[in-house]
Chains A and B, each alone.
Chain A
Amino acid sequence: MNMSVGWVFFYLLVFPGFFFTSVVGLLYTWIDRKVTARIQFRVGPPLLQPFYDFFKLLGKDTFVPEGAPRSIFLGAPLVGLASVSVISTVLLVSNMFPQQAFAGDLIVVLYLFVFVPIILIIGASASSNPISALGASREMSLYLAYELPLLFALATIIVKSGGLLKIGDLLQWQWANHPFLYSASGAIAFVSAFLCMQAKLGFVPFDIAEAEQEIMGGTILEYSGPALAVLKLTKAMLYFTASIFLTVFFWGGFRSPRHGWYHILGWLKPVAIIVLIILIKNTNPRLRIDQALRFFWSIVLTLSIVGFILAAVGL
């Protein structure tokens, strides 16, 4: 592996890291709002709406609630932003240069994915607001609910590929054989990972921690101005990152060894995934936290264990 420091910074900050991911992520939130509006027979917001929202929030005051530790309260969103940038960089760079993957990048991605719920929990707990604390406790339970099925889904594809641990190797295995999605065990793993991503993004039916109507935004209740802008940006980037996560691990990534049209079509895969997410989001009511926990620990966990067993017997 031979990358100069300059390139690493370029990858991290411009393409495909922070800048690229945030622009595409904000466009994704536009797709989200637009598709939602069309489902409800509305017109929906203009293309640049997420950018207006972001710049507006940058121009507003930020409150730090009385009794909240300033550095933790305001620092948490920045940590989240940084970790999501790194995840998307690692995923996309290993898609572009599969040989350059470093050992254990899968573990790094998984660890950094954990940061997103953790910064929400830390920020909400630091805000010294009881309703935010309620949101934090729900976020924690939800995290405990979906993490195990997600790990099993990833274990499935690792077993299926014969024990490959690097993202680049997993991609190359898919290019040499077939995307994991097109096998029985891989399809099952994809479904459970997909549901876990829906929960990680905090979308209906799993938006329990943020529930605007009952706990007023829950974990993000006390954030305002630039801090809120950073949190919203983190969520938007996570949106994009979750879709490329599913694409890279289960659907063979964007690039395939066959070039031409197939290459461009590859970029539509994450869009197809988020349209599916939006459809689920718009056709389901919110679950209670105990229902979500039961759903993940009984149905989804069983599903992903079945997928794991199928992979172990070679299906």
Chain B
Amino acid sequence: MLKGLKKGALARSLWVYHVSASPCNNCDIEILDLLTPRFDVERFGLLLVGSPRHADVLLVTGVVNKKVLDRVLRVYAQTPKPCLVAAFGSCAISGDLFVDSYNFAGPLDKHIPVDVYIGGCPPKPEAMILGVVRAIEKLNKLKDL
């Protein structure tokens, strides 16, 4: 019962922290679409927060390169669990067109467990909302947190 309350509350109130791991910046701009009147994800309780301490979802954008990898790992360690990780955009999922770059450190899920993949370069708002739905579905399927 208590577990159910905890999980239900988490699924209805996902606070998002946006980890900018050397993207081309387009993904970051697109995230803000979700807060506009047309898409308004605050309907579902999503908020963008300013500190990883407050976050439930880490939205990682961009190619994880060797320099930024350490920071991503540290932000992940500093985020209170339970938390989800979303690989946002083709860069974070696979490296996209930077895959042959000399400082590419591999896709994000090589380093931290990724729960949701949101594809696109940059992803469309519809794809992002689908990602949110996937995240909530995944939370609801989990036995324990």
Contacts and interface: CB of A to CB of B under 8 A. Distances in A.
Interface string A41-60: 11111100101111110111
B28 to A, nearest CB: 14
Given A59-B9, A61-B80, A33 B42 contact: yes
Given A45-B42, A224-B54, A55 B49 contact: no
B50 A63 contact: no
B80 A62 contact: yes
Interface residues of A, number: 33
Contacts of B6: 55-56, 58-59
A213 B45 contact: no
Interface stretch (A86-94, A214-222, A247-255): A214-222
A37 interface: yes
Contacts, number: 82
B51 A60 contact: no
A225 interface: yes
Contacts of B10: 56, 59
Contacts of A119: none
B3 to A, nearest CB: 9
A259 to B, nearest CB: 41
A228 interface: yes
Contact of A56 (B49, B50, B51, B56): B56
A43 B42 CA distance: 8
Interface of A: 33, 37, 40-46, 49, 51-56, 58-63, 212-213, 216-217, 220-225, 228
Interface of B: 5-6, 8-10, 12-13, 37, 40, 42-43, 45, 49-51, 53-54, 56, 78, 80-82, 145
